[in-house]
Structure 1
Amino acid sequence: MFNVFPLSKQGGPSRFEDEKEQESDSDAIKEMPEIPNETKKETKYEKEINKKMTPFLVAARNGIVEMVNEILIKIPSAIHNTNSRKENVLHVAVKYRQPLIVETLRSIYKHSKPELWNNLILAVDVEENTVLHLAAEALGGDKPCQIAGAALQMMWDIKWFQV
C-alpha cells in the first residue's frame, strides 16, 4: 500500500533530505500494471444498486413495514416514487419478495383509494414488466431459497403466487 501524502506531511524527513526515497516510491507507482476494464467485474448486487432509490423504495425492498407506514403518513405523495427503471413501490416489493409490504399497501389503498391501487398494479417498468411478470421472475431458480426443503419452498411459492 502506498501513502499519498509526502513524508514531510506525515512527520517524516523533509523533501530535501530523502529525495531518492520519494523517487523510488513514484517509480513503484508507475510500474504497477493497470487493470483492464474487462477484468473489473461487478457483482449482481452492485448492478442492482440504484442511485435513484428513495428511502421509501429502499424500505420496501428490505421489507421494513414500519418505515413504509411512517413515510406514507408523513409524505403521502411518496407512493408515486419510482426508481430509474420506473419501478414503483409495489414492483420493488414483489421483485424482492416482501409480502408484508404488499399486504400493507393493499390494506391501505385497496378500499380507500382503489384508483391509486389499480394504477400501482397496472404500472409497467422500463422493460414493460407488470407486477405479475416480476412475481413470476421472483419464483425463478436464480434467487437463493428462503426456506429449506423442496416441499416447503413449493408451499412458499404457491402462497406468494396467491398473494
Structure 2
Amino acid sequence: MVTWVDYRTLLARVKRNFTVLTAIRARVSGVSRWAVFFDVENTSRAQHVDEVMRELGIADGNRPTEFVALGNWRVIGDDTARLLARHGARLVHSAPVPGVKDWSDLRIAAAAGLWLGHARPGDRLDLVSDDRAFDAVGDVAASLGVSFRRLSYRLRSTAR
C-alpha cells in the first residue's frame, strides 16, 4: 500500500526527472528552451489568465514550454487552476506555512534564477507579474543572451 507521503515523494522525483530530461532533450536537439513564470495572484481571473496565455503563445501549444504558475491556491479560483493545468502549468503553492500570506515573489525569483543557471543564449524567459523588481531578472537574462519579457495583465489592459 502506498501512503500519501510516498506518493508525494514519488511525484516530486518524477517532476524533477522530467524537467531534467526535457532540458537535456532540448539541448541535444538544438532547440532553445522557453520558460514562463506566472504570478497568478496578480492576475487570477480565468478570463484574464487566458488572455495573457494567448498573448504569450502558450494557448496554441506549438512550442514546448516550462510553465510554472505560482500563487496561494487557497485564494485563487478552481477555474483558473484548471485552465493553467490544462495548458501544462506546474501549479506551485506559494504560502506553504500557516500564517504566511504569500511567498510568490521570492519563489519566482529563486526559480527564475535556477532556470537562468542552466540557460544558454537564444533561450527565452517570460515572467508575468506586476512587480517591477523582476526587471532585475531581465538584466541577468540579458547578460546571458537570454530573451526576457515581463508582462502584466493590468498594464496591458490600461495600454489599450
Q: TM-score normalized by structure 1?
A: 0.28
Q: As a proportion of its length, which structure holds more helix?
A: 1
**Relative contact order: is structure 1 or structure 2 higher (C-alpha 8 Å, sep ≥ 6)?**
2
- Give the structure with the higher percent strand: 2
For normalisation by structure 2, the TM-score amounts to 0.29
